[in-house]
Amino acid sequence: MAAPVKKDQELELTVDSLAYGGNGVARLNGFVVFVRRGLPGDRVRARVTKVQRRHAEALVTEVVAPSPQRVDAPCAHYPACGGCRFQDLAYEAQVAAKEVQVDDALRRIGGIDAPPLEPIVPAEEIFHYRNKLEYSFTQLQDGPTIGFHKAGRWDEVLEVEKCWLTTELGNAIRNRMREWARAERLVAYDQAEQTGYLRHLVVREGRNTGQVLVQLVTAGGEKFDTGHFVDVLREFPEVRSIHWAENTSAAEVTNLPTHLLWGEEAIEEQLCGLRFRVRPNAFLQTNTRMAERLYELARELAGLSGQETVFDLYCGIGTIGLILARDALTVWGVEVSEESVACALENAELNGITNAAFFAGNVGASVGELRERSGEPDVVVVDPPRAGLAGKALRRLGELGAPRVVYVSCNPTTLASDVKVLGTEYGYALVRARPVDMFPHTPHVETVALLEREAQ
């Protein structure tokens, strides 16, 4: 049966809900239309941009009757900036939608009729919460500037004066870097032409320590006075670590080897009473306070008594594993990033924790060796990337057969898919699940889930 709409057709629709990913959901005689920039309760006119057999996509051209849940966005750059999707949606509606999305994924994809879902944990701060931001340089007629990619565009960068996701300090450092770049008459990199020099600026803040790490990413070659660059950043006493990375490829990446220009190799952050050293490329949850809530919830679900062997898969810099080590017999962590593992080992020593060990390796390929070293795990914690557990890693987790699995997810659809496989093929049941809103004004939602396996 053909779709009832055509590309470029203009429709008048009522948006019912939000889909995971951030688009509004409307229906035209039962046919689903995903509406970008449509919010629940809106009556909109929208132009169809894509048509498939079971659904279409459309872009709002006019809000005919705004939803009562619409609010004024405080940011002058919204909605052109791609950093936020929902500044104009009341926060209570945002978290309600995210909770529904997790429930829907567990029912529709996970095949669970009545998911044991607990109320979402809302963010404690809805603005100025990020401890890390990556900016892009772009060239204007009067010189280089810095900001974020425009919504939906890889080739256009929007100049930003004030970002509502970072702190006053973060905004000040970014704006001072723009002044420095213009004074030095440096040229921003052009991604389309692959010419120019300045590419990215990364600013990381230890929100509980006040320490800041700054990383500049350029094209190849030292075309600036590094000493003056350091002097400019040292105007901010919070800056403790200054790095420079060269990217000679076309790829837009910041995860690169760095040259330390000044200060310490890493900054420190404190989470759940422990100290963590954070290097430029190490993974750390970008909302510090809500990361603590997330880890406290993972600790609660792990239910440790002091006698358990714990596997921490995708361990990063050891945050979850080291927090659990206080309650466990031993913790064994695996992470593919060697830099993150180096941080994890350093963090264990920094906190005087002697019952945790960390190894670099692919999770799917390393679990068997880990089992030989440590014996059978009582609890396995997994904190995979957005794509969820890779096929081999999922199989190895199921084959381990640990009585309890704590799954820290950043994508409810892959969580649901993995939960279904663990249930149907390996005998696990989802016992608890609780969403956590780490990223207000974005479509993203974390979930901490507990799976238990009946004794065989």
Q: Is 217 strand, coil or helix?
A: strand
The residues pairing with 15 across neighbouring beta strands, listed in sequence order, are 26
- Options 75, 84, 163, 410, the catalytic residue: 410
Residue 410 appears among annotated catalytic residues = yes
Structure tokens at 431: 């016992």
Catalytic residues: 410
